[in-house]
Amino acid sequence: MQANFTADIILGKISRTHGVRGIVVLRIEASMRDAVREGLPLLLDSEGVQKALTVRSCSNHRSGLLVSFHGIENREQAQALVGSRVSMSRSEAPQLEEGEYFDCDVIGCEVLAGDGSPVGKVKEVLATGANDVYVVEAPPTTVSAGQEASRGASATRGQEILVPAISTVVLELNVEEKRIVVDPTGLLYPEPGHTESRKSRVAAEARVAAEDGSAQEHRRRSSSDE
């Protein structure tokens, strides 16, 4: 089936098969699970090879969603889908409120300090439970002197910086212009090799816990949708 729609919102990735009847496990953020429903057209991309499929059924699973597709009837057919990135059309996505964003819109944004110096580019969005955290890859040069002085550390190419998505740290977020302005004093510098680990997530949550609780969060969906 050829796609006749633009799939511009990335939902997640198919991680494995489930059972013998063509069901797969779709790893997806909890806040986006309700976007997947019976009859929804999805685009699957595996190393540049695209396939358009329609959801037959879906249900919650501890690792994401259990999804079956029309035309996928057995384990062998389902196995061919494992590893595929799954996207949907923005026109089919849930309506967002002001100040809410999809992960795919935040990923790729250039992050700047208030003085205009580069911090890096968002490569991932982590959901901590309290608020989102943007994982930023530092640019080839070291971070600005202001950042180095404020945190007592410098970041070189490949090192990752954590940006708690709260208003005291994220001063401006413009997904149309792919730009985020931050207060460098609120950034977190995990130990090299520990990004994506529990230590980094705990550090991000600890940073938020230190706030007075009144900071507005920059989030993809409201807490009532989690």
The region of weakest confidence among 60-69, 97-106, 175-184 is 97-106
Structure-model confidence comparison of residues 91 and 220, the more confident one: 91
* pLDDT at res. 194: 54
- Residue 22 and residue 74 in contact, taking contact as beta carbons nearer than 8 Å: yes
* 3-class DSSP assignment, residue 212: coil
CATH superfamily of 103-221: PRC-barrel domain (2.30.30.240)
Q: Supply the pTM of this predicted model.
A: 0.69
Residue 206 confidence (pLDDT) above 70: no
Q: How does pLDDT run across 48-83, given as a tens digit for each residue?
A: 899 999 999 999 998 899 999 999 999 999 999 999
* pLDDT at res. 199: 45
DSSP characters for 99-144? TB--HHHHTT-EEEETTS-EEEEEEEEEE-SSSEEEEEE--SSPPP
CATH class of 9-92: mainly beta
* pLDDT at res. 127: 77
Sign of the alpha-carbon torsion through 67, 70, 76, 80: negative
Task: Identify the bridge partners of residue 181 per DSSP, sorted by sequence position.
Answer: 112, 172
* pLDDT at res. 209: 45
Spatial separation of the C-alpha atoms in residues 134 and 111, rounded to whole Å: 10
Q: How does pLDDT run across 4-17, given as a tens digit for each residue?
A: 567 788 899 999 99
Q: How does pLDDT run across 109-128, given as a tens digit for each residue?
A: 999 999 999 999 999 888 77
Residue 189 confidence (pLDDT) above 80: yes
For the chain, what is the mean pLDDT? 81
Structure-model confidence comparison of residues 141 and 91, the more confident one: 91
Task: Parse the chain into domains and list their residue ranges.
Answer: 9-92, 103-221
Spatial separation of the C-alpha atoms in residues 195 and 138, rounded to whole Å: 13
* pLDDT at res. 59: 96
Summarize the confidence of residues 97-113 as an average pLDDT. 89
Spatial separation of the C-alpha atoms in residues 32 and 55, rounded to whole Å: 15
| % of the chain beyond a pLDDT of 70 | 72
CA 109 vs. chain centroid, Å, equals 12
Q: Strand 110-113: give its sheet, edge to edge.
A: 160-164, 132-137, 118-127, 110-113, 179-182, 170-174
